[in-house]
Each structure stands twice: as structure tokens, then as C-alpha cells.
């Protein structure tokens, strides 16, 4: 793999690879023989291929297996997506049976993977399209190993720019008619994607474009705040943090400056990273990185230990 191909491509790809390398630098995983990764909402399969190639080269003694799935309910009803992804992956990595690793399912189905199967699960710009977050997190917890990690890039409700229509604050306006009027008004002064999307959407006026854009936001996005996601994670048995958000923005900056991405993000301990403090401000600018991990706590064991301690001191 050439130096150019190794460091080109979306920032998210290099960012996820660095997170996984950081995790694999943990000595507790030294005896692991197989390491499985899941790309949630795998789309065109580019991230699956990237991680499979990159990490297999980086860890030749470890059996790296990258899987992916996407949902058929959100615009892929022509049944073309999965064959196209399988064809792409087979051309990139012909020695792997991708038919066993790539799935297309309904958003209302349970994920077609064994419990405790994955070490890492990733998603990029997916969670803001998930309406049934409880079901998503329940499946996520089930398929993860107890010591696994999941990383998700997504815009929170705090983000100023609506990333799909490129109109600031459009998703903050809850009144549908006002949202339409607002998008149309900003489109008239050149803000938004009207000039880019009008042909694809088949619209001839800015007002028609505004209606289509407002429908998209209303029907296919659900922006949440950190505390809302946290509450759902607690119910699902997952911890939640902004971990690696600072590193994600650092990776974006390095890309702009033409620098190579960081290969490893340092220790994967729970030590608070000062860069993550920046998430309090960066969440207004663009996507954040949220890390979820399976978490359990034996309250009975603690109560017993406290009881024994009191008895021994009496």
C-alpha cells in the first residue's frame, strides 16, 4: 500500500482506525486470536474495506474480521445496495467471503449476529437517523463482548449547522411551516444546497426545495442531546462519554494541514483526556465522537462488603 493511499480518504476512516489501534495496544488483549469489528450503517462498504486492509497489515498475527450491515427501510428498496457493496468488497479483497459478513436488514429487526460476538462496533453519521434508540442500544449491548468498545460519530441537537441541507439552525425550528419558510429564505441568499440538489430532487423552485428539505429533517432525522442519549444508555447497560472527540477534531485539522493522521491515540485507559473537554464547545460546530461500553455493577457484592466491614469494626 502506497504512502498516498495509506493516508488519504475520509477523516472518519483514519480516526476509527486509530481508536482500534489504541484499543489493541492494551496488553490485556495480547492473547486475543480473533478481533471482530462491526460497521453499523456500512453504506458503500468503503470503511469496511479500509479497516480490513489497514488493520490486517498492522496486526498480521491477529485474525481481523470486519463485518457490516445497513437497513433497507431508508431508501434502499430497489435491492441494489447489497449487491453493489458485495461487488465492491469482492474486488478490493477477493479472498474473503463477503456474503457471510455483509447484511441488509429492516430497522425493526434484531441484528443478525451472535451475542458477545464483536470487540468493536462503529457508526458514522447514523445515530441521528435512528428513531428507535432503545432498540438500537439493546442490540448494540447484546452483540458486544463485555470488554468491547463502540465509537459513534454524529451531530448532536446542539450543532448549529444542519448537515444534510446545510442550512444553519434548520433542525432547531420545530414548527414545520416556519422551517419551510426559513429554508426557502436562506436558499434565496445562497445558503444551503438548493443549487446542488435541485436537479436530483426534481424541484424547480426554492420553495419546493424547502418543502422537500423540511420533510427530510422531519421524517429522517432525530437529533438528540448528550443527556438524552446518556439516559437511554443507562437503561441499556452502557456507559457513555465524549472520549476521542478532541482527537477527531485534531484529525480533521491534520487533514487540512496535509499532515499524516495519528496512528494511535495514546493509552486506552479511562484517564480524563483534556481534549475531550473541548466537546463542550465542539458539539456546536460539527459531529462529536461518543464512546459506549458495556457496563455492569454488582450492587449486591458492594452491600455485602459494606456489611462485612461494619461487622468487623463493631
pLDDT tens readout for residues 234-290: 999 999 999 999 999 999 999 999 999 999 997 544 445 555 666 778 899 999 999
Those residues whose C-beta lies under 8 Å from the C-beta of residue 148, and which sit 6 or more positions away, are 118, 119, 120, 121, 293, 294
Q: How does residue 230 score in pLDDT terms, banded at 50, 70 and 90?
A: very high
Contact 248, 287 (CB under 8 A): yes
Report the C-alpha gap between 142 and 150 in whole angstroms. Answer: 12
Backbone angles phi, psi at 134, to 5 degrees: -60, -45
What pLDDT, on the 0 to 100 scale, is given for residue 268?
A: 47
Q: What is the pTM of this model?
A: 0.89
Tens of pLDDT, residues 174-198: 999 999 999 999 999 999 999 999 9
Tens of pLDDT, residues 49-79: 999 999 999 999 999 999 999 998 765 555 6
Q: How does residue 7 score in pLDDT terms, banded at 50, 70 and 90?
A: very low
Report the C-alpha gap between 294 and 149 in whole angstroms. Answer: 8
202-221 average pLDDT score: 95
Higher pLDDT, 40 or 3: 40
What pLDDT, on the 0 to 100 scale, is given for residue 300?
A: 82
What pLDDT, on the 0 to 100 scale, is given for residue 30?
A: 66
What is the residue-averaged pLDDT of the chain? 89
Q: Which of 157, 122, 155, 159 is nearest to 43 (CA)?
A: 122
Please say if the pLDDT value at position 295 is more than 60.
yes
Report the C-alpha gap between 42 and 123 in whole angstroms. Answer: 8
Please say if the pLDDT value at position 6 is more than 60.
no
What pLDDT, on the 0 to 100 scale, is given for residue 5?
A: 35
Higher pLDDT, 309 or 71: 71
Contact 171, 221 (CB under 8 A): yes
What pLDDT, on the 0 to 100 scale, is given for residue 26?
A: 78
| Share of residues in the chain with pLDDT > 70 (%) | 91
Those residues whose C-beta lies under 8 Å from the C-beta of residue 301, and which sit 6 or more positions away, are none
239-242 contact pairs (CB < 8 A, 24+): 239/292, 239/293, 239/294, 239/295, 240/290, 240/291, 240/292, 241/276, 241/290, 241/291, 242/276, 242/279, 242/288, 242/289, 242/290, 242/291
Taking every pair of Cα atoms in the chain, the longest distance, rounded to a whole number of angstroms, is 83
14-26 average pLDDT score: 93
Q: Which of 179, 188, 174 is nearest to 212 (CA)?
A: 179
Strand 161-162, strand 167-168: pairing: antiparallel
| Share of residues in the chain with pLDDT > 90 (%) | 75
Report the C-alpha gap between 109 and 123 in whole angstroms. Answer: 18
Backbone angles phi, psi at 170, to 5 degrees: -60, -35
Q: What is the rounded end-to-end Cα distance, in angstroms, of the chain? A: 68
CA-to-CA dists, residue 216 to 73, 170, 271, angstroms: 14, 11, 40
What pLDDT, on the 0 to 100 scale, is given for residue 282?
A: 87
What pLDDT, on the 0 to 100 scale, is given for residue 3?
A: 34
CA-to-CA dists, residue 22 to 121, 253, 260, 295, angstroms: 14, 20, 17, 20
Per the structure block, which three cell numbers stand in for 118?
464483536
Please say if the pLDDT value at position 148 is more than 60.
yes
Contact 129, 224 (CB under 8 A): no
Please say if the pLDDT value at position 305 is more than 70.
yes
Amino acid at each position: 500500500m502506497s504512502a498516498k493511499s495509506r493516508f488519504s480518504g475520509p477523516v472518519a476512516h483514519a480516526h476509527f482506525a486509530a481508536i482500534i489501534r489504541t484499543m489493541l495496544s492494551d496488553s490485556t488483549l495480547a492473547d486475543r486470536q480473533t478481533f471482530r469489528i462491526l460497521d453499523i450503517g456500512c453504506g458503500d462498504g468503503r470503511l469496511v474495506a479500509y479497516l480490513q486492509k489497514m488493520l490486517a497489515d498492522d496486526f498480521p498475527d491477529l485474525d481481523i474480521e470486519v463485518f457490516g450491515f445497513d437497513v433497507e427501510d431508508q431508501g434502499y428498496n430497489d435491492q441494489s445496495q447489497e449487491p453493489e457493496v458485495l461487488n465492491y468488497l469482492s474486488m478490493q479483497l477477493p479472498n474473503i467471503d463477503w456474503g457471510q459478513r455483509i447484511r441488509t436488514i429492516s430497522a425493526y429487526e434484531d441484528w443478525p449476529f451472535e451475542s458477545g460476538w464483536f470487540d468493536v462496533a462503529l457508526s458514522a453519521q447514523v445515530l441521528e437517523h435512528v428513531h428507535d434508540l432503545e432498540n438500537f442500544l439493546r442490540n448494540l449491548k447484546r452483540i458486544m463482548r463485555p470488554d468491547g468498545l463502540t465509537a459513534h460519530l454524529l451531530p448532536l441537537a446542539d450543532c448549529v449547522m444542519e448537515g444534510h441541507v446545510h442550512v444553519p439552525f434548520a433542525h432547531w425550528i420545530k414548527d414545520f411551516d416556519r422551517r419551510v419558510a426559513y429554508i426557502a429564505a436562506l436558499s434565496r441568499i445562497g445558503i444551503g444546497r438548493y443549487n446542488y440538489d435541485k436537479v436530483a430532487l426534481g424541484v424547480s423552485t426554492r420553495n419546493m426545495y424547502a418543502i422537500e428539505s423540511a420533510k427530510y429533517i422531519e421524517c429522517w432525522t432525530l437529533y438528540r442531546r448528550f443527556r438524552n442519549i446518556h439516559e437511554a444508555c443507562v437503561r441499556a447497560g452502557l456507559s457513555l462519554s465524549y472520549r476521542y472527540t478532541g482527537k477527531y477534531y485534531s484529525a480533521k485539522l491534520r487533514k487540512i494541514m496535509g499532515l499524516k493522521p495519528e496512528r494511535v491515540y495514546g493509552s486506552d485507559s479511562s484517564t480524563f483526556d483534556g481534549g475531550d473537554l473541548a466537546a463542550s464547545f465542539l458539539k456546536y460546530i460539527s459531529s462529536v465522537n461518543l464512546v459506549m461500553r458495556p457496563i455492569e455493577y454488582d450492587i449486591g457484592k458492594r452491600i455485602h462488603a459494606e456489611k462485612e466491614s461494619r461487622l468487623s469494626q463493631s
